Structure 1
Amino acid sequence: RSHVIDGLILSPIHLETADLVARQETSPLVLLGEREYEAPYDQIAIDNVAAAREAVRHLVGLGRRRIAFLGSRTDRERQPAHLRLRGWREELVAAGLEPAETLIVATDGYGRSDGAAAMSALLDRGERPDAVFAYNDLIALGAMRTLTERGLRVPDDIAVVGFDDIEESRFGAISLTTVAPDKHAIARLAVDRLVERLSGRSDSEPRRISPGYELVVRESTGGGRTDARPGADSPSAPVA
């Protein structure tokens, strides 16, 4: 309630645009998270399409041509999964490659077991890629487990890229190449925007602000382990 708080930074997981539009409280609100909302509030989120394109561009630059996407969703076009899939398609087309729908695998969830099952399903139907771009790091880690069990080598046979840069991505048996959002910038921008609203210094229309991100190259695509150390939890990418 507005009489309890001055302002709110919210990461909505299961809320829809209609829920946010129906909000009656008048205290300033800043949204986090990578879904897109047509709601009258500031939102801090990285550009999923651009980040996905950079991940795929990295794989294409390594000479990979059959790049799978694990973790797709068929509903809600503004969900991060749809946006990352869009980036996958756009970059393949830009590279002169045909996005093969047979290399897209939907998942029930976003955990390790979902990634392992998706990779198994892809291999079982005879669609062997030479690279995988996963919706997130957990799916990528599950996929890598399946590849190891099937006797396939990462990255020699199949290169793998994830998204999020979770701690496990740095310390697995094979460190994971991943897209690392600039978490410090996300936090700073959210607080700064809320303070502006509270102070009355900003009466502008709500804005969608995109912080920076970084593609961290590790062993799963042929890089090294130079950042696998305590304290390497955040990228130094500039704010976009």
Structure 2
Amino acid sequence: ELLVCQEFRSHVIDGLILSPIHLETADLVARQETSPLVLLGEREYEAPYDQIAIDNVAAAREAVRHLVGLGRRRIAFLGSRTGRERQPAHLRLRGWREELVASGLDPAETLVVATDGYGRSDGATAMAELLDRGERPDAVFAYNDLIALGALRTLTERGLRVPEDIAVVGFDDIEEARFGAISLTTVAPDKHAIARLAVDRLVERLGGGPMSEPRRISPGYELVVRESTGGAPVPADPGSGGRDRPTPTG
């Protein structure tokens, strides 16, 4: 990432759409270059560049609201991380808390499980830890689909039924979310809109017109309801990108 930014500074690249993984705000702020840069990704940067990212707090609230609407009252969150308040994990945890409070429910810290990573094994371990605490939830909202899929594995191994005993919601709408033994309800970012908005913004910046202030643009998302929260399995429309029963929001 730093190498790409170096080439950018040396005028090898006229404009850049970048989805940083390791770069910090300080790295971006220190960049003394006027060539257009558009940031992707859901981490919030306090840097003077356009950014395209869904509203993680609102999307998380939508997921939790769905579970509350199903009558679930002990809703756990898997995948929290300490520090870095502008990271997606923190923002989704914030949405979980806000929606529970708005629904008159207790966002108990005993229902929050941190993970070292964001893979299936992390989700399986987190779900086992929660159950071993004696803090059995009636629903789980996972930071992402991989954590949710790992949680589903643990629930199956423990003899718990999904969604009858515990409903599960993920985030990202990866392909496996649709094809698992229990298809996964998930938040699906509008990836086409993200790409279109990023390119449009970069082209506008490259056009040489009057420079406007940097903008943070939030594309839409869908809550895709599947079997893990009681939705019937429905064959996906070939043109839908694998989405079943979408609930448009955002």
Matching residue of 2:165: 157
Does 2:68 correspond to 1:79? Answer: no
Which of 106, 114, 118 aligns to 1:110? It is 118
Cα distance in 1 between the residues matched to 2:192 and 2:198: 10
Alignment partner, residue 175 of structure 1: 183
With the length of structure 2 as denominator, give the TM-score of the two structures: 0.92
- The Cα of 1:66 is off from its aligned counterpart by 0.3
**Identical amino acids, percent of aligned pairs:** 88
Would you say 1:50 and 2:58 are equivalent positions?
A: yes
Q: Write out aligned runs for 1:30-69 (5 A).
A: 30-69=38-77
1:138 aligned residue: 146
User: What is the CA deviation profile of residues 3-48 of structure 1, one whole-angstrom value per residue up to 9, with x for unaligned ones?
Assistant: 2111000000111100111113331000000000000000000000
How far apart in 2 are the matches of 1:196 and 1:229?
Answer: 34
RMSD: 1.6
Structure 2 residue ranges without an equivalent (≥5): 1-6
- 1:63-118 deviations in whole A, cap 9, x for unaligned? 00000000001110000000000000000000001111100000000000000000
Is contact 1:177–1:219 with CA below 8 Å preserved after alignment?
Answer: yes
Contact kept in structure 2, 1:183 and 1:234, CA below 8 Å: no
Q: Which runs of 5+ in 1 are unaligned?
A: none
Q: 1:239 to 1:28 in 2, by over 3 A?
A: farther
1:112 and 1:6 map into 2 onto residues whose CA distance is: 39
What is residue 18 of structure 2 aligned with on the other side?
A: 10
Q: CA deviation at 1:202?
A: 4.8
Aligned partners of 1:21, 1:234: CA distance in 2, in Å? 38
Question: Displacement, 1:234?
Answer: 6.5
C-alpha distance 202-152 of structure 1, shift in aligned 2 (>3 A): farther
Q: Size of the alignment, in residue pairs?
A: 240
Normalised by the size of structure 1, how large is the TM-score? 0.96
How far apart are the structure 2 equivalents of 1:46 and 1:93? 22
